[in-house]
Each structure stands twice: as C-alpha cells, then as structure tokens.
Structure 1
Amino acid sequence: ESRLLRTARDDEERVIPPGVTMNFAGHFRDSKETAKWLKAWAKKGESEAIVAAKLGVSSVPQALKSQHENWQALVNYAKWQKKYFAQLGTGYQNFKRTQNEVARWAVEGRTDEWVARVLGMSNLSKDRYKFHRNYKAFEMFQKQKKEFADLLQKHAARRNLQHEHYSRAPIS
C-alpha cells in the first residue's frame, strides 16, 4: 500500500457545518456543547486571554480577530465570565452582587482572613491567592475596605475641625 501526498496547493473552500458555534480541540461544537465548555471555563475562573488562546483567537492579528471562526464563542465567554464573577454564598455571583457583598463586609469591618475563608481561599498561602477563582473578589474587598477606612478618616477629621471651631468660640 502506498500513500499519496498532495503536491498541488489546496484552495478548496471549507464551510463550517450549520449549527456549529465553536471549533475546539479539533472538533466542531454545537451551541449546547459550546455553552457547556464556556460555562465550565467561566466557573473555573479562566481568564479571557487563556480562553482566547484555547480557541486559537489570540494568535490571529487584531484586525482579523472578529473574522475568526471562534470569535463569537469568545464574545460569549466574556458574557459568561461576568455572570460567574465569584463563587460565594449560594453559588456563583455576578459582578454587581459580589460588589455589594464585599462592600457590606468592608462596612462590617471584616478581616482579610475572614473574607479569605468565606471565599474558600484560607487554605492557600497568600502568594497563591492570585491563582484562585475568587481572587478578583478578594481584591475588590481590599479596595472597598481601604476606601471605607479613608472615608471614615476624612469624616473624623471633619468632625474634629468642627469640634475645635465650636470649642474656641467665645461664650456670650
């Protein structure tokens, strides 16, 4: 048995079969299977850059990215990623719900250790936090905590100035 190799350049136009929404790992995926993959990656906390690389979109020049066969899947992934911003409480939370929750923790004076435990990060060393799927929520908490502390400090300074002003006023 002999094998024949192509000697002529193949310019045949290959059409993606109808119903296919993603080509991943050498297989065409329908919308249901695509959603399953995107949801799994979002729940795992994969960055958009990592998913773009998995889908082969990152290696395409910027001007041609929107024409790539997996471009729409990547756009959909960005939407899934917002839906699955952090895992806490009753399950996965979107950005807004996570923001409200961490703001409440900051106002309540919760510690970093307490928040790390709630986010499922307490068994990790601090240098491994950034690899956890809830790291963005943890960072958000630290930012909210700092902003709240700054606000309290400004308010206390303003109260002290007002108190000094009234205590120096002559009694008539």
Structure 2
Amino acid sequence: MKTLRKYTLLLTLLTFCTVNAQQKKTEEPKVIKEVDQVDKKAEEVNETTNNTNTAIKNTVENSKETLKTIGSLFGSGKGKANKKSKGAIKIDIKEVTYDDERLNNLYTHISNAKGVKKASKNFSNGKASINVVCKENADTLWDGVPKNVRNAFKMLQIDDKSMVLELAAAQLAD
C-alpha cells in the first residue's frame, strides 16, 4: 500500500510538472512576440527621431541661407560695398628705417582712421609693413590719410587689399 501511494504521488507529481511545462511553453512564444513588438516600436521611434533631427538641421541651414539672401537684398548700397571690401589690408613701405618719422606719422593716421579696428606694424630688412583690419578698401583708406602725410610717400601699387609705397624721391635726399 505504501508503494502504491508512492507511485500515485509520483504519478501525480509528474502529471503536474508536464502540464506546468506545457503552459510555460505556450506562454514563452507570447512573451517573445511581445518583446519583438517592443523592439520594432523602439526601432520605429529611433528612425522617426533621426528623421526629425535631419529635418531640423536642414531647416536651420535653409533659414541661414534665406537670411543671408534677405540681408543682401535689403542692405544699403554703402553697406554692401563696405561688406565686400571689409577685411585685412597690408601696406608695405620699401626702403625705410624703423624710426623714420614719416613712417610713424603714416602708422598713426592709419591706425586712428575711421573704420580701422586693428593695426599692427612690422619691420624687417629696410621694409616696414602695416597690417590693418578695416571696413574700407585700401584706396579709400589711403584717401583718408592727410595729404601732407601722403606726400611723403610714392604709391607703387594698390588694390582692394594691399598697397606698396616707398619714400618720395624728394624726401630721400634728406
């Protein structure tokens, strides 16, 4: 009798475990399907986010270009000319000494000229260079230098961003 009880108990236990295992097997595919669905939704959200970021970047770039275009359409004529020529101007003066009073006068007038933001002076081997950041072009900057200072120099070359000068011949003999 005891053996019969043991076998019955064992048989009941095996039946329960089998039924329980079958229920888990039917639940596992449901869980796997749900996980797959969550993964797909996450991928869709990531893709949507990436597309949105790209669209925002493109919109910002297009807006910048549009603003530049609008600014160029409505800017004043004087403002346009200044913006085109704004930048660095290099002035080279040949055959001059570092302590030449005419060079120092020229540097003082140019560095204090209207529209000049930065000015620096360099000297090497008898050649001086004045570098300025200016709203005007080189010709307009030169025209702003007082005539008595300009007369001390001879213009050899000029364009929008540079000029080459030398001391005037009458002054070289001094």
Please tell me the TM-score bracket, short chain as reference: under 0.3
Greater per-residue strand proportion: 2
TM-score, normalised with respect to structure 1? 0.26
Structure with max Cα Rg: 2
TM-score, normalised with respect to structure 2? 0.25
